[in-house]
Structure 1
Amino acid sequence: MDDDQTHKDDPEAGRALTIAAELRVVVSRLIRRLREQADVGDLTSSQKSVLLHLEREGPATVTMLARAQNMRPQSMGAIVSTLEVAGLVDGAPDPGDGRQTILSLTAACREMITAGRAARQDWLFRAIQTNLDQREEEQLADAIELLKRLAAS
């Protein structure tokens, strides 16, 4: 029996499928709106991914970044080079292997990331205050707990 038939025969499964589809669409829209709130310039998604990796995981070599992003070191080298020219990452010799360079975020990049997060949070704060009443804010808080559980599963 295919999944569509299973969902027709099981109303609870059909409802969960509908909720999953609607949640995916709504979350995608919310993410898009949040991204609109903090312009990070002309960075590509690969460049943003590298910056966020360095912020989250700390300093890394080009090889480590390439491995983390599932790409060739040569391709990662081009991305890193662009980020260095833009003043977003700095390199320092690896104390354990002088042939390697350890890359880290610059202070300017950290400020850019912080400002972007603040802009997104401010937009979301204003949207909640403007569009939701107290009861709806409480419902949203409850929904956040459910979303945390889904994200952790």
Structure 2
Amino acid sequence: MADAAALAQDLRGIMSKLKRRLREQANVGDLTPTQISVLLRLDKDGPATTSNLARAEVMRPQSMGAVVSALEAAGLVDGVPDPADGRQTILSLTDTCLRLIREGRAARQDWLHRKIEARLSLEEQEQLRTSLELLRRLVDD
């Protein structure tokens, strides 16, 4: 049992470091973690209203309004009136934002690809592939 606890702690530490290193490759500029989260949610889930984003991010609509305003000012999101409720605006990512997301993902993929090739032998790459299957079993329901 203690071995599993130590393994869990080590895994969390390594995953956190990997996440930080990948984030460094993305060049997200001056965006806050909340702004990044909102952009990624719009990318993953598609257009949404400020209210829907606030619920999804577990924050007050007024606070989300400030986040959205900053993203609009940066040219990363755009809004159109909701045809079902003209009082609301449906927000989506701008073409500029979509391009930045693609470039960031490509930079992270390239960095990780280069690290794997440079630091791991073919046998170690196969071990990593096996480890990924184990990680999938941990996270898949």
1:129 aligns with 2:129: no
Name the count of aligned residue pairs. 141
Gaps of 5+ in 1: 1-12
Aligned pairs (5 A) from 1:3-42: 13-42=1-30
Using the size of structure 1 for normalisation, the TM-score is 0.90
Q: Distance in 2 between matches of 1:145 and 1:68?
A: 30
Q: CA deviation at 1:151?
A: 1.4
In the alignment, the residues of structure 2 paired with residue 24 and residue 79 of structure 1 have an alpha-carbon distance, to the nearest angstrom, of 29
Structure-2 separation of matches of 1:81 and 1:147: 38
Counterpart pick for 2:79 among 54, 75, 91? 91
- Alpha-carbon distance between aligned partners in 1 of 2:129 and 2:3, rounded to the nearest angstrom: 22
**Secondary structure in 2 aligned to 1:92?**
strand
Q: CA deviation at 1:38?
A: 1.2
Match of 2:58 in 1: 70
Quick one: which amino acid aligns to residue 138 of structure 2? Answer: L
Q: Tell me how far 1:49 sits from its aligned partner.
A: 0.6
In the TM superposition, residue 42 of structure 1 has moved relative to its aligned partner by 0.3
Higher relative contact order (CA 8 A, sep 6+): 2
> What do the CA deviations read for 1:63-112 (whole angstroms, capped 9, x no partner)?
00011111111100000000001000000000111111000000100010
Residue 92 of structure 2, aligned match among 104, 119, 139: 104
1:126 deviation in Å?
A: 0.2
Which of the residues 117, 122, 126 maps onto 1:138? 126
Identity level (%): 61
Alignment of 1:40-79 (within 5 A): 40-79=28-67
SS in 2 for 1:71: coil
- Cα displacement string for residues 94-140 of structure 1 (whole angstroms, at most 9, x for unaligned residues): 01111110000001000100100000000000000000001000000
Superposition misfits of 4+ residues, deviation over 2 angstroms: none
**1:149: Cα distance to partner?**
1.0
Amino acid corresponding to residue 140 of structure 2 in structure 1: A
Higher Cα Rg, which structure: 1
